[in-house]
Amino acid sequence: MSSTAILRTRIDPIRKARVEKILRRLGMTPTQVVNMLYAQIDHRKALPFAVTLDDNEIAPPIEHVAETWGKLDNEDFSKLDKR
């Protein structure tokens, strides 16, 4: 059996109850979710979600992706066909 560490944290009890109810419906425990979060941080070397002070900081990348996809609609990709 692998060794484990104990993580203690403080959280609003109302939020805790709400989230644990959701997790039960998903068939997950808080421990599993924390382990998943830590695994993602370890893998990405960053948080798996944006942390910003302003929601507008998220919009430009999304707009950029939409603009790029729009440009690709008119692009000729026949040169990629290796047949």
pLDDT in tens, 41-50: 999 998 888 8
* Nearest Cα residue to 37 out of 7, 3, 1: 7
pLDDT for 80 equals 67
pLDDT for 71 equals 72
23 within 8 A of 29, measured Cβ to Cβ: yes
pTM: 0.59
pLDDT for 38 equals 94
The contacts of residue 34 (CB under 8 Å, 6+ apart) are: 7
Q: Which two tokens stand for residue 42?
A: 């370890």
CB neighbours (10 Å) of residue 19?
Answer: 14
Chain segment 60-77, per-residue pLDDT in tens: 566 666 777 677 667 676
